[in-house]
């Protein structure tokens, strides 16, 4: 088991490079199921979730190799159409193989993901869409069994915009017969990145990034080389890291146009963000102020940045009311932040954070990916030592976070116990 030991109080200085986006890499990897041949994905982050998706693709019969953030995926046709529980339970994004397997092979068996630390996270909308496209779906012993001779185009409306649901159906519809229209689709940049990649493979997708996506099915797709977009959540996390330590850093390879809501909100707290030729310069030169927050689907403020924003609000001046509207159980970091002296109360999906002068280092436990990031951020600002346990959550989604922070001057060590 590994832990992070952080001695807080050092303002971060220097520059940091942002890695490729986890949530763009995982669907890009799944999309390689749609076409035989050699696929190349660049700017791939070295993360546990990426390795898990690699293992899943290999289990299905593909070959994956990763060197210097370049992944080569060789697809000579799948020999297995089942995503087993052992892999799906460690990473919910495994559900992304359902749409492509069904569209390409007419059959797929994928374990139901089940709940996770941040909420129930059902996949009913993925299944509803596939059924509308002509799939026959059965739930059997914890598995989704889907069959279809050939999927057909359909008119699909999502009650809630779902990111992986939109991606799954976009991939399924790309090889269906006829036109599919997804209304109230997710608009996240990762959805748009997947559509760009797929269009270069020969798909006909329009409207990605807007709430109506139209996909005209084609008979086949071909492999291409694709470079995934930089991780906007990692970028946001480093902006908060600079802010919470009173630092001055340059974030390279960031795409500020994907971070409008995040940058605007953080600027309101007093963090200065300025676009440079290489990326983004972030400085915090004065006492930060509290701001209220409500998480929303893109282009709103992302739920994946809520925990990090809360860490910042713990030491801001005033009171911040934070409403989580996407996941029902995404306040697991609150109890841990309180162990560090934060003043937070929760009522339903609302957390009220009253800023304190200082956080104090403490042993804390990571519960999920973004909660772990918030504890690291709090540790960077706290007086004394913070020990963050269960950091395997962090390694699922942040590439070398501790090394990158250390390069910026943070006192942070990874220890084995």
Catalytic residue list: 116
Binding interface with ligand EPU (CB under 6 A): 23, 26, 92-93, 119, 121-126, 160, 162-165, 186, 190, 302-304, 326-327, 369-370, 397
Name beta bridge partners: 17: 252
| Count of beta carbons in the 10 Å neighbourhood of residue 136 | 11
Q: What are φ and ψ of residue 52, in 5° steps?
A: -65, -45
In the complex, what is the shortest distance from the CB of residue 124 to ligand EPU, in angstroms, rounded to a whole number?
5
Question: Burial code of 89-121, b = ≥16 C-beta within 10 A, e = fewer?
Answer: eebbbbbbbbbbbbbbeeebbbbbbeeeebeeb
Using an 8 Å Cβ cutoff, are 176 and 204 in contact? Answer: no
Question: Which residue, 84 or 119, is less far from ligand EPU as judged by CB?
Answer: 119
Pairing assessment for the beta strands 82-83 and 107-111 based on DSSP bridges: parallel
In whole angstroms, how large is the CA radius of gyration of the chain?
Answer: 21
At closest approach, how far in Å is the CB of 325 from ligand EPU?
8
Q: Going by C-beta distance under 8 Å and a sequence separation of 6 or more, which residues neighbour residue 364?
A: 336, 339, 340, 375, 378, 379, 386, 387, 388, 389
Q: Compute the least distance from the CB of residue 30 to ligand EPU, in Å.
A: 10
Is the N-terminal amide bond of 131 cis, ω within 30° of 0?
no
Q: Least CB distance from residue 345 to ligand EPU, whole Å?
A: 23
Smallest gap from Cβ 240 to ligand EPU, in A, equals 15
H-run or E-run covering 13: strand 13-17
């Amino acid at each position: 088991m590994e832990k992070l030991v952080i001695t807080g109080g050092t303002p971060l200085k220097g520059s940091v490079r942002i890695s490729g986006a986890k949530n763009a890499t995982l669907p890009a990897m799944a999309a390689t199921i749609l076409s035989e041949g050699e696929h190349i994905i660049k700017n791939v982050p070295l993360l546990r979730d990426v390795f898990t998706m690699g293992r899943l693709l290999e289990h299905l019969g593909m070959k994956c190799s990763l060197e210097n953030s370049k992944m080569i995926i060789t697809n000579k046709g799948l020999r297995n159409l089942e995503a087993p529980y052992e892999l799906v339970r460690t990473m919910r994004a495994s559900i992304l193989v359902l749409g492509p397997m069904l569209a390409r092979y007419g059959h797929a068996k994928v374990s139901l993901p089940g709940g996770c630390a941040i909420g129930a996270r059902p996949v009913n909308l993925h299944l509803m869409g596939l059924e509308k496209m002509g799939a026959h779906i059965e739930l059997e012993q914890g598995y989704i069994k889907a069959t279809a001779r050939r999927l057909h185009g359909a008119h699909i409306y999502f009650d809630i915009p779902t990111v992986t649901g939109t991606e799954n159906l976009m991939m399924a519809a790309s090889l269906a017969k006829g036109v599919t229209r997804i209304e109230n689709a997710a608009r996240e940049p990762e959805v748009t990145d997947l559509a760009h990649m797929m269009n270069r493979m020969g798909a006909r997708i329009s409207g990605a990034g807007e709430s109506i996506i139209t996909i005209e099915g084609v008979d086949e797709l071909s492999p291409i080389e694709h470079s995934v977009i930089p991780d906007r959540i990692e970028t946001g996390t480093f902006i908060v890291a600079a802010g919470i330590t009173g630092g001055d850093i340059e974030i390279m390879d960031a795409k500020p146009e994907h971070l409008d809501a995040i940058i605007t909100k953080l600027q309101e707290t007093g963090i200065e963000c300025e676009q440079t030729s290489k990326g983004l310069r972030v400085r915090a030169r004065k006492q930060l102020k509290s701001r209220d927050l409500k998480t929303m689907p893109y282009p709103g403020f992302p739920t994946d940045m809520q925990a990090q924003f809360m860490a910042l609000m713990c030491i801001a001046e005033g009171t911040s009311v934070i409403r989580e509207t996407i996941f029902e159980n995404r306040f697991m970091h609150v109890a841990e932040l309180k162990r560090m002296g934060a003043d937070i109360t929760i009522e339903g999906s609302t957390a009220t954070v009253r800023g304190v002068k200082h956080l104090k280092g403490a042993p804390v436990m990571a519960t999920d990916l973004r909660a772990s990031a918030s504890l690291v951020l709090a540790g960077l600002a706290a007086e004394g030592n913070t020990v963050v346990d269960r950091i395997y959550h962090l390694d699922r989604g942040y590439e070398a976070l501790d090394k990158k922070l250390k390069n910026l001057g943070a006192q942070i060590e990874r220890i084995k116990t």
